[in-house]
Amino acid sequence: MNLTGETLISRKPGILTNNIGGETVMMSIEESKYFASNKTGAYIWNLVETPVSLDNLCTKLAADFNITKERCMTDILPFIKQMQENNIIEITNTK
């Protein structure tokens, strides 16, 4: 799926989350898979608790981490794709 600034990202329902040893671990009981992330990944995970556009997500992250929005897009796209591949987020293109 092609991700654009208008793409909506949200947590998939039913994903269990826990903090273990400084990492946030997300687990899909349905698929018997888990996915671990660092503090930045955990911060992103918290931001996608409700649907958020990729554009708004990067606006928030850019302000919070003092980076450009373009840098944010480049940096988080691999993480978003990993979460999608692990089936812990839902992605919806609005157009």
The per-residue pLDDT for 4 is: 85
CA–CA separation, 33 vs 43, rounded Å?
21
CA–CA separation, 11 vs 48, rounded Å?
6
Q: What is the DSSP string of 27-84?
A: EETTTTEEEEE-HHHHHHHHHTSS-EEHHHHHHHHHHHHT--HHHHHHHHHHHHHHHH
The per-residue pLDDT for 2 is: 81
As to burial, measured by CB atoms within 10 angstroms (0-12 exposed, 13-18 middle, 19+ buried), residue 72 is buried
Give the pLDDT of the chain (95 residues) as one tens digit per residue.
688 889 999 999 989 999 888 789 998 888 888 888 988 999 999 999 999 999 999 999 999 999 999 999 999 999 999 999 888 999 998 66
Nearest of 72, 83, 73, 70 to residue 25 by alpha carbon? 83
Global confidence as pTM: 0.87
What phi and psi values does residue 13 have, to the nearest 5 degrees?
Answer: -60, 145
